[in-house]
Structure 1
Amino acid sequence: MTTTSEQQEIEAIKRVVAEVERVQRNELVEEFVGLFREDAVWTTAHGKVLLGRDAIAEFTRKVLPGATTDSTATYEVVHVLFIRPDVAAVKVRQRYFALDGQPLPGDSEGAPLYVMTKEDGRWVLTAGQNTPVVTQR
């Protein structure tokens, strides 16, 4: 059973994930980078490992501008597991769409796992692994 306090934390986590969607959709590099803990570990959907906010920033500055020219993505929290009250494993459903709202053809979904920590009263991305969902053929 989820307590009121846990539900409030889940809502705060969902707001961070919604912010990930918003800043990526609007190609706001610095705002995206600001969602991470200084020593965060991030692995892209293509397996590139980024260690620390500086590496995440450098990579993001190269790939985010222009990334939403032809498509965009939505992010939905599908599960939150509190490892401790200030540490959560967050499963996200990421879906890719053309700008007209139509799903992209083929495998157009990701399944990120975010480890989030509560730092100074604010949930931040501490570790993440983005994995493409491949349809069984």
Structure 2
Amino acid sequence: MNSATDVEIHAIKQVVATVEHAQRYELVEEFVSLFREDAIWTTAAGRLLIGRDAIAAFTWQVLPGAMKDLVPSYEVVHVLFIRPDVAAAKVRQRYFFPDGEPVTEEGGAPRCT
């Protein structure tokens, strides 16, 4: 890896860390600030949200209170540079109970019933 790639991977990891922080502490505005105006987001349940306003409206509905009994963890496990200015990142998403026990072994979003 060259130093430019190292810097870019570090920047990607910082964004993912910010997502984790915003979710862990239910900081809706911090989470929404990561998105461009024309962003798209697919929720853990598969709902497609188009635009920062839609993402914000959804997040304001679901995030406050969602992490009451959960601790999220996001780990960048692979980065692929598609072009010098475009990267795809695979992030392992896991949730833990406050005592450190994993909600699921495989990772992914917890299922709500």
Q: Structure 2 length normalisation: TM-score? A: 0.91
Q: Does 1:25 align with 2:28?
A: no
**Counterpart in the other structure of 1:3:** 2
- CA displacement at 1:108 relative to structure 2: 5.5
Q: Does 1:76 align with 2:89?
A: no
**Counterpart in the other structure of 2:96:** 97
Deviant stretches of 4+, over 4 Å: none
Paired-residue identity, %? 65
Can you give the 5+ residue segments of structure 1 that lack an aligned partner in the other structure?
A: 111-131, 133-137
CA RMSD of aligned residues (A): 1.2
Q: Does 1:109 align with 2:107?
A: yes
Higher strand share: 1
Residues 96, 108 of structure 1: 8 Å contact kept: no
**Counterpart in the other structure of 1:86:** 85
Residues 77, 92 of structure 1: 8 Å contact kept: yes
Higher helix share: 2
Measured in 2, the distance between the counterparts of 1:43 and 1:72 equals 21
Compare relative contact order (CA 8 Å, sep 6+) and give the higher one, 1 or 2: 1
- 1:26–1:108 distance in 2 versus 1, CA, 3 Å: farther
Q: Structure 1 length normalisation: TM-score? A: 0.76
Residue by residue over 1:53-94, the C-alpha shift from the partner in whole angstroms, topping out at 9 and shown as x without a partner, is 000000000000001111121000001111122211010001
Q: How many residues align?
A: 109
- CA displacement at 1:109 relative to structure 2: 0.9
Can you give the 5+ residue segments of structure 2 that lack an aligned partner in the other structure?
A: none
